[in-house]
Copies of this chain bind each other. A is one copy, B any other.
């Protein structure tokens, strides 16, 4: 051990006026891709951490909240998901969770930036352990174009696992993209998108739902969950349905009988995430 104290790495969230930090032992890597700057640090207590353009994306320790909720909540809400597409998700953690579902036949991960996956394979190998699953396709392309060109009614669940709605991911938060998704989904298809902090960015959730509704999605549900390294530590995913169905009705018996391991998600936690705090109920009218 060095005698000098470990430095702290802070991310200031300008739009929320709050910050998160980790105690860092050293910088492990940095690459400037055609799209963004990717940095990897080693921390004292949170394993490795990946930053994209200065924003913390993943730590070894706390990514399970996000990846499990973004995958298992929509997959156990859909009646029988066979064909899944992940837009973004280059760290491969969501793909790993999706492939835990034995009923999934194909899972395509389409991230614009190959360097995110190159870094994940090196510094978060556990998240990439299913990349060679024969059901998986790991591709690097523009997710907006991918969805625009997808065969109509060919997908059961689309998971938008993107960075914040600035920079490369901006086009993943508008009506045109959602219209492509709607067309590509089968009639009972679901779209789920990470929808930021309910405490700090309720207007984003409202705008997102508005754009999804304009595109033709019928019903919505926003599920909150802890995510320490993201702004306010309190995050959400919003599920949208192509048909008018009750998104609080999920395959609870199947979730309770799941044979794969998780760290956060289970049937009770899924039901819990459907409970709306007073302030969310007031804002979203769920």
Give the B-binding residues of A (Cβ under 8 A): 8, 10, 12, 16-23, 43-46, 62, 199-200, 224, 226, 228, 232-234, 261-266, 268-269, 271-279, 281
Contacts and interface: CB of A to CB of B under 8 A. Distances in A.
User: How often does this chain occur in the complex, in copies?
Assistant: 2
**Which are the 5 A-B pairs with shortest beta-carbon distances?**
A233-B233, A17-B45, A19-B21, A272-B272, A272-B275
A232 B22 CA distance: 10
Nearest to A9: B19
Given A8-B12, A18-B23, 9 more contacts: A18-B45, A19-B22, A199-B226, A226-B226, A265-B277, A266-B281, A269-B275, A271-B275, A272-B274
Contact of A62 (B8, B199, B281): B199
Contact of A23 (B17, B20, B232, B266): B17
A61 to B, nearest CB: 8
A266 B277 contact: yes
A276 B263 CA distance: 11
